[in-house]
């Protein structure tokens, strides 16, 4: 299980650990892990050019100490100081002693050239429509640049772009953190750094000279290290920091973020302004929720965790968690020698209409490939279902008279007719778990769901979630963690919020944190894919999995099936392809752990 903890929890664990370590040890651990990751990205350290973007907080200190380690190995290291008078003094001294140099950042705002960080509303030179340049095959997630010397652009040692832990790697609790805690993202200032000899000529000439020096250092760099702000930062980058980030993105260097990309929210995953878009991120001690959740996750690139010894000081229950293969394998139902179809689970599917018969076929496909002992279909698309899956048990309705089931799925392609409304009421009146999707969500009554005694699972995409919560879609997409938690709380149900990052929040009173689904691919954004997921989730409910497990396991297997269907190089898939890939994905999970 991959676990993530809030900023407050991580800070508390760091304080406990620092009380048991020599002064400065925690920051040295962080710097060692950061320098090792930087060396992996560079491939060859000697002769490489590294530029550090250094803010006033602890992340700036981490970057400076890591830069000193790289300088001692022969790299040319330049630190661009955003707050020279508040730079970590010991880190700056260490960098200079190792042969690195430091220059002040300019106080000038972003030039009016249309240049901006990718994913902001401004155009980027050389890209049509102002979009950020992206490449496939070798580019880190969200970036247009491959990480040198690594297959697929991932940080060495990573799986699927994420390095869970670095066994035996440097541990982090950077020790005597003397710099002030970060406030707003990015910092500005002038004058001489503590313990340094920097001087900036007065007047416009000095400002322009500093700007040229900083831009030249970024343009020539092989690696840019983002140490502007850390996990305590809030809001987007300030203008000076935004300008430097623009220059870094326009250059050829790989961008490595320290703990998290500056400008993203570590707790929520929100991006409320300009932010660094990194090719890779090294985070210390524990994952932070925002690194795993979009939109912030899109800025993170390949994610690497450096163990700094925090585990004994972290609570047993994280704020967010993500299942891995072994966790899913433990939860997948396995029939015994004495199993029959009822012991394996019978799932009822109420889906499809004269207009959308295919939705019924796809939901049944997901259920049949999801381990159900039998599938009972209720609705007007029986002929289409039987033609494709003759093993399905069909009934004209109503659902209450269809026969024994251990769970219901209702909604895909259902429409909003009087019959559809009656079917929904019938299913919600049952005493078995119910999964509601698509049209079923649009017909849903909040009080009716809250009154149910059996578990209910809601599976909206962002638009459907916005309608359920009475907000704009953009509000859901920009604050996904808050939205899924609110859905679960307001409807008294387990909520699965579909999207680029699929999240599962338990119903009120149910134990466990929100789960983030780590599988999936953009190719799953195709008509009918959600219908397959609904059938799969319903089958797992019928097999006896509790609601949060059923939803999160279904999302994991479905996402993996999407990857399998798209192939190693990626390519268009249909929902039927995803359904057909469920069984191979299931076998991959169980074989990898058995």
Hey, how many other C-beta atoms are within 10 angstroms of the C-beta on 390?
A: 7
- Alpha carbon distance 282, 284 (integer Å): 7
User: The tokens of 163 are what?
Assistant: 């390095």
End-to-end CA distance of the chain: 17
Parallel/antiparallel/unpaired status of strands 494-497 and 503-505? antiparallel
Q: How much is the pTM?
A: 0.82
Residue with tokens 């959600």: 530
Q: What's the confidence (pLDDT) of residue 490? A: 98
Q: What's the confidence (pLDDT) of residue 136? A: 28
Length of the chain: 594
Q: pLDDT tens digit string along 200-255?
A: 333 445 566 777 899 999 999 999 999 999 898 888 899 889 989 999 988 899 99
Least confidently predicted of 198-212, 345-359, 398-412, 556-570: 198-212
- Alpha carbon distance 549, 239 (integer Å): 44
Q: What's the confidence (pLDDT) of residue 175? A: 36
Q: Which residues pair with 303 in a beta bridge?
A: 162, 281
Instruction: Give the containing element (helix H, strand E) for 95.
Output: helix 89-97
Mean pLDDT of all residues in the chain? 85
Going by the annotation, the residues of the binding site for K(+) are: 59, 226, 262
Between 492 and 338, residue with greater pLDDT: 492
Going by the annotation, the residues of the binding site are: 58-62, 226, 230-236, 259, 262, 359, 413, 461, 498-502, 530-531
- Alpha carbon distance 171, 119 (integer Å): 32
What percent of the chain stands above pLDDT 90?
74
Phi–psi pair at 146, nearest 5 degrees? -85, 145
- Alpha carbon distance 390, 384 (integer Å): 10
pLDDT tier, 57 (very low <50, low <70, confident <90, very high otherwise):
confident
What angle (nearest 5°) sits at the alpha carbon of residue 121, between those of residues 118 and 124? Answer: 45
User: The tokens of 472 are what?
Assistant: 């704009």
Q: Which region holds residue 428: left if phi is over 0, alpha if psi is between -120 and 50, else beta?
A: alpha
User: The tokens of 570 are what?
Assistant: 């990626």
- Three-state DSSP string of 429-454: CCCCCEEECCHHHHCCCHHHHHCCCC
Going by the annotation, the residues of the binding site for (6S)-NADPHX are: 58-62, 230-236, 259, 359, 413, 461, 531
User: The tokens of 555 are what?
Assistant: 């999302």
Going by the annotation, the residues of the binding site for AMP are: 498-502, 530
Q: What is the DSSP string of 150-168?
A: SGGGPPTT-BTTEE---TT
In 3D space, the residue among 550, 489, 159, 526 whose CA is nearest the CA of residue 358 turns out to be: 526
Hey, how many other C-beta atoms are within 10 angstroms of the C-beta on 364?
A: 34
């Amino acid at each position: 299980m991959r676990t993530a903890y809030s900023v407050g929890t991580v800070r508390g664990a760091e304080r406990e650990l620092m009380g048991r370590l020599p002064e400065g040890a925690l920051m040295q651990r962080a710097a060692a892990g950061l320098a090792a990751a930087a060396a992996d990205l560079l491939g060859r350290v000697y002769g490489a050019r590294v530029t550090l973007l250094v803010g006033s907080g602890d992340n700036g200190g981490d970057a400076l100490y890591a830069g000193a380690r790289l300088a001692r190995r022969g790299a040319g290291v330049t630190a661009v100081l955003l707050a020279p008078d508040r730079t970590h003094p010991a880190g700056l001294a260490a960098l200079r002693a190792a042969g690195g140099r430091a220059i002040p950042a300019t106080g000038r705002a972003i030039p009016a050239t249309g240049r901006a960080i990718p994913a902001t509303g401004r155009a980027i030179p050389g890209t049509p429509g102002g979009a950020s340049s992206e490449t496939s095959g070798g580019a880190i997630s969200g970036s247009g640049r491959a990480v040198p010397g690594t297959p697929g652009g991932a940080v060495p040692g990573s799986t699927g772009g994420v390095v869970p832990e670095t066994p035996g790697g440097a541990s982090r609790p950077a020790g005597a953190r003397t710099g002030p805690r970060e406030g707003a993202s990015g910092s500005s200032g002038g004058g001489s750094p503590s313990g340094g000899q920097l001087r900036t000529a007065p007047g416009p000439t000095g400002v322009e000279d500093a700007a040229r020096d900083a831009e030249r250092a970024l343009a020539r760099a092989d690696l840019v290290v983002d140490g502007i702000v850390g996990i305590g930062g809030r809001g987007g980058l300030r203008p000076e920091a935004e300008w430097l980030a623009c220059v870094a993105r326009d250059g050829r260097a790989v961008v490595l973020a320290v703990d998290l990309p500056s400008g993203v929210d570590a707790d929520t995953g929100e991006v409320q302004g300009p932010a660094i878009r990194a090719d890779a991120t090294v985070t210390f001690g524990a994952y932070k929720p925002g690194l795993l959740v979009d939109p912030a996750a899109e800025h993170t690139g390949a994610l690497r965790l450096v163990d700094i010894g925090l585990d004994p000081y972290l609570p047993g229950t994280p704020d967010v968690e993500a299942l891995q293969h072994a966790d899913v394998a433990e939860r997948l139902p396995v029939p015994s020698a004495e199993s029959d179809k009822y012991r394996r689970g019978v799932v009822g599917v109420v889906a499809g209409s004269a207009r959308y018969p295919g939705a019924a076929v796809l939901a049944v496909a997901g259920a049949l490939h999801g381990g159900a002992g039998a599938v009972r279909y209720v609705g007007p698309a029986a002929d289409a279902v039987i033609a494709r899956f003759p093993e399905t048990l069909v009934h004209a309705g109503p659902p209450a008279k269809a026969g024994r089931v251990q769970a219901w799925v209702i909604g895909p392609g259902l429409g909003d007719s009087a019959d559809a409304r009656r079917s929904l009421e019938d299913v919600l009146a049952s005493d078995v778990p119910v999964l509601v999707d698509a049209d079923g969500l649009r017909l849903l009554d909040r009080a009716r769901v809250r009154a149910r005694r059996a578990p209910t699972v809601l599976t909206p995409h962002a638009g459907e979630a916005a309608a359920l919560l009475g907000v704009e879609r953009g509000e859901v997409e920009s604050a996904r963690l808050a939205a899924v938690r609110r859905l679960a709380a307001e409807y008294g149900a387990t909520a699965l919020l579909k999207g680029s990052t699929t999240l599962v929040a338990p119903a009120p009173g149910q134990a466990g944190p929100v789960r983030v689904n780590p599988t999936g691919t953009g190719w799953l954004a195709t008509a009918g894919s959600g219908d397959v997921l609904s059938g799969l989730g319903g089958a797992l409910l019928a097999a006896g999995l509790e609601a949060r497990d059923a939803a999160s396991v279904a999302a994991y297997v479905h996402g993996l099936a999407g990857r399998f269907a798209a192939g190693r190089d990626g390519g268009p898939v249909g929902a039927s392809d995803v359904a057909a890939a469920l069984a191979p994905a299931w076998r991959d999970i169980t074989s990898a752990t058995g």
